[in-house]
């Protein structure tokens, strides 16, 4: 029986026998498309937002197409969805490992899709675009007039699969098992579906230039690091969303959503001027977006939440209301209290605020408006993932801060009015004789004129 512990379980999608990038890519493509055809809920979660109807899904791999110049090309896959008279078709191009999408190849596939009246070109790779809806590969925009191009990272594919199986549900038990096999495959290192694990070649020189104060506005490396940081925030959202079973997204303005370069340029400017990278993450029903600030000069990562103070009670009462919510938070948590019509905030570590809450009151007579609660962590310096790396220090900071702060903070709500007993009404005896009673018993016939 002891020998059985070393046996390998049979898998629907095995990772054994993968020799080289070509085999890795072909197996990942075939596995993904086959599961999309088999598991209706999973394919709907991926294709529904792209406009595909809720119909029968057909998938194919390495479909040949002849070009006008006599060459034959083979996109990695094709997806067709049919419902009644409506038909929706997309070509699929897949990369695994560190391989990246090439513009020339994508433009050829866009031409094929246009000539045949297909709707989409879907690309899948380990590349994480900095902004949702953007594409990591720049192509001739004229090619996109009749065909839409959409990108999924493998991390995003895996997140969709986990959310569907563990939280949203799959009606058929056999299909749920099949989706679980895809999840196991994509989570295996040999699948080529890597997680975000590199801040890029610009990270070390930018980090050193920030430390020495020599990073200039003309340095294009600042833009590269800004793009990578936003990609890291998106990866953090996907990973946190998988754990929570909900959609977690980076916060962006409407202008930034329409033109991602606005966000990138602003972040690069902030890095050059302040040595800081920052962004916000929106978690459903959390007290506020989580603000993430990586200070390269101080080598610190800070995650914080904002919370409105109660609208009633004295300042000390409002502070104690917050401290009760933070009873399990670490002593090193920082609490800032903001008052109305005041430009400064009172800040204390939680251990000191617990001992003397009055330290957060500030100027007497001014009501408290809001609080900021923050956790600060040591920032990793290495460009890659793993111990001592910047990536892991940010991911750990995000998840720890949500666990210790984000999931416990709740907004204040006014208590509903309640009935009061007669003996609760306090009347000053010295003036009671001069007052007219308003009790119902005083309004009777004997008092009528």
Examine the domain organization and report whether 79 and 169 are in the same domain.
yes
Examine the domain organization and report whether 256 and 391 are in the same domain.
yes
Contact status, residue 266 vs residue 295, Cβ threshold 8 Å: no
Examine the domain organization and report whether 396 and 265 are in the same domain.
yes
Each residue of 56-83: pLDDT tens digit? 999 999 999 998 888 899 999 999 999 9
Examine the domain organization and report whether 233 and 170 are in the same domain.
no
Examine the domain organization and report whether 256 and 178 are in the same domain.
no
Rounded Cα distance, 103 and 113, in Å: 15
Domain annotation covers residue 443: no
Domain annotation covers residue 431: no
At 438 the pLDDT is 42
- State the DSSP H helix or E strand holding residue 71, giving kind and residue range, or none if neither: none
At 342 the pLDDT is 78
**pTM of the predicted model as reported, rounded to 2 decimal places:** 0.82
3-state SS, residue 206: helix
Examine the domain organization and report whether 301 and 168 are in the same domain.
no
Examine the domain organization and report whether 329 and 396 are in the same domain.
yes
Domain annotation covers residue 1: no
* Residues of the chain scoring pLDDT < 50: 431-449
Question: Tokens in use for 363?
Answer: 């100027």
DSSP secondary structure letters along 75-109 = -SEEEEEEETTEEEEEEEEE--TT----HHHHHHH
Examine the domain organization and report whether 116 and 147 are in the same domain.
yes
Examine the domain organization and report whether 332 and 219 are in the same domain.
yes
Residues 6 or more apart whose Cβ sits within 8 Å of residue 434: none
Q: How many domains does the chain have?
A: 2
Examine the domain organization and report whether 121 and 209 are in the same domain.
no
Q: Where are the beta strands (DSSP E) in 216-289?
A: 249-250, 276-282
Residues 6 or more apart whose Cβ sits within 8 Å of residue 76: 25, 26, 29, 61, 62, 92, 93, 94
**Helices 390-401 and 221-244: angle between axes, nearest 10 degrees:** 40
Give the residue carrying structure tokens 């391989």: 99
Each residue of 383-427: pLDDT tens digit? 988 899 999 999 999 999 999 999 999 999 888 888 877 666 555
Domain annotation covers residue 440: no
Which domain-ending residue is among 169, 191, 213? 191
Domain extent at residue 397: 203-406
Domain annotation covers residue 435: no
**Phi, psi angles (nearest 5°) of residue 402:** -65, -40
Examine the domain organization and report whether 222 and 162 are in the same domain.
no
Domain annotation covers residue 423: no
Q: Where are the beta strands (DSSP E) in 248-308?
A: 249-250, 276-282, 290-295, 300-308
Each residue of 223-246: pLDDT tens digit? 999 999 999 999 999 999 999 999
Residues 6 or more apart whose Cβ sits within 8 Å of residue 19: none
Which domain-ending residue is among 191, 212, 244? 191
Question: Tokens in use for 137?
Answer: 């590969």
Rounded Cα distance, 244 and 266, in Å: 30
Contact status, residue 348 vs residue 373, Cβ threshold 8 Å: no
Examine the domain organization and report whether 310 and 363 are in the same domain.
yes
Domain annotation covers residue 381: yes
Domain annotation covers residue 81: yes
């Amino acid at each position: 029986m002891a020998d059985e512990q070393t046996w390998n379980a049979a898998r629907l999608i095995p990772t054994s026998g993968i020799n080289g990038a070509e085999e890795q890519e072909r197996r990942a493509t075939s596995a993904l498309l086959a599961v999309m055809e088999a598991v209706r809920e999973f394919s709907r979660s991926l294709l529904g937002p792209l406009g595909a109807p809720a119909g029968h899904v057909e998938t194919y791999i390495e479909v040949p197409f002849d070009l006008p110049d006599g060459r034959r090309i083979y996109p990695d896959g094709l997806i067709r969805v049919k419902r009644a008279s409506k038909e929706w078709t997309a070509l699929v191009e897949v990369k695994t490992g560190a391989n990246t999408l090439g513009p020339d190849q994508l433009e050829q596939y866009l031409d094929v899709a246009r000539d045949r009246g297909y709707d989409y070109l879907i690309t899948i790779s380990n590349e994480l675009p900095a902004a949702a809806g953007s594409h990591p590969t720049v192509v001739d925009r004229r090619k996109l007039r009749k065909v839409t191009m959409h990108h999924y990272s493998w991390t995003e594919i895996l997140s969709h699969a986990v959310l569907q199986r563990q939280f949203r549900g799959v009606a058929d038990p056999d299909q749920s098992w099949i989706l679980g096999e895809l999840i196991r495959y994509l989570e295996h290192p040999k699948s080529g579906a890597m997680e975000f694990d590199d801040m890029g070649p610009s990270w070390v020189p930018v980090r050193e230039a920030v430390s020495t104060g020599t990073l200039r506005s003309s340095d294009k490396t600042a833009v590269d690091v800004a793009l990578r940081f936003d990609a890291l925030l998106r990866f953090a959202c996907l990973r946190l969303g998988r754990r929570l079973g909900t959609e977690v997204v980076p916060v962006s303005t409407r202008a930034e959503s329409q033109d991602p370069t606005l966000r990138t340029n602003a972040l690069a400017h902030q890095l050059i001027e302040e040595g800081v990278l920052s962004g916000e993450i929106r978690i459903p029903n959390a007290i506020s977006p989580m603000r993430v600030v990586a200070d390269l000069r101080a080598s610190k990562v800070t995650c914080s939440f904002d919370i409105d103070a109660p609208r009633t009670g004295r300042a000390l009462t409002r502070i104690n209301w917050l401290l009760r919510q933070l009873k399990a938070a670490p002593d090193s948590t920082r609490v800032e209290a903001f008052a109305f019509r005041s430009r400064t905030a009172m800040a204390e570590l939680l251990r000191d605020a617990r001992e003397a809450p009055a330290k957060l009151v500030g100027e007497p007579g001014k009501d408290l408006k809001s609080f900021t609660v923050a956790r600060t962590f040591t920032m990793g310096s290495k460009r890659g993932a793993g111990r001592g790396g910047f990536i892991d220090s940010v991911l750990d900071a995000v998840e720890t801060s949500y666990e210790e702060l984000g999931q416990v903070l709740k907004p204040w709500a006014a208590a509903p009015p309640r009935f009061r007993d007669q003996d609760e009404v306090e009347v000053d005896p010295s003036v009671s004789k001069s007052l007219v009673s308003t009790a119902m018993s005083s309004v009777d016939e004997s008092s009528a004129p």
